[in-house]
Structure 1
């Protein structure tokens, strides 16, 4: 599992997918979410605007990424 740092929390799921390079762009992020391909903390997340915080784990196609706040 890798970690991606954010400067402040919360961050929206769609933004985080792009930042973590799990999605190529906003359209791709939207498609992944609508297709049920995105899991947050073990549950399918269908809201592009879902708020992520430090410690949340996002999984897309087997790629696990933990949200971390920059110190």
Structure 2
């Protein structure tokens, strides 16, 4: 599965905000549903926290949807 790089302009970003920023979901409710179904993994581990802080280098994968890596950060 190809990983798409998504640049952020801050030091960290919450998981739900990242997925909205990347255009993966349109609402926090969608993120909640994906978490409840245990479909989201962060760096290979199943994620359970919608507001988990992500940092540059973190990789998010959603079963059946794709994979994204946090890039960028403050300049």
RMSD (CA atoms): 1.3
Query: Could you tell me how far apart the structure 1 residues matched to 2:38 and 2:9 are?
Result: 27
Distance in 2 (CA, whole Å) between partners of 1:56 and 1:20 is 14
Partners of 1:40 and 1:10 in 2: how far apart?
14
TM-score normalised per structure 1: 0.89
Aligned residues: 71
The alignment's TM-score, normalised by the length of structure 2, stands at 0.84
Where in structure 2 are there 5+ consecutive unaligned residues? none
TM superposition outliers: structure 1 runs of 4+ over 3 Å: none
Measured after TM superposition, the shift of residue 24 of structure 1 is 2.4
Which position in structure 2 is the counterpart of 1:28? 30
Q: Contact between 1:22 and 1:60, CA under 8 Å: does it hold in 2?
A: no
**Could you say which residue in structure 1 is the equivalent of 2:20?**
18
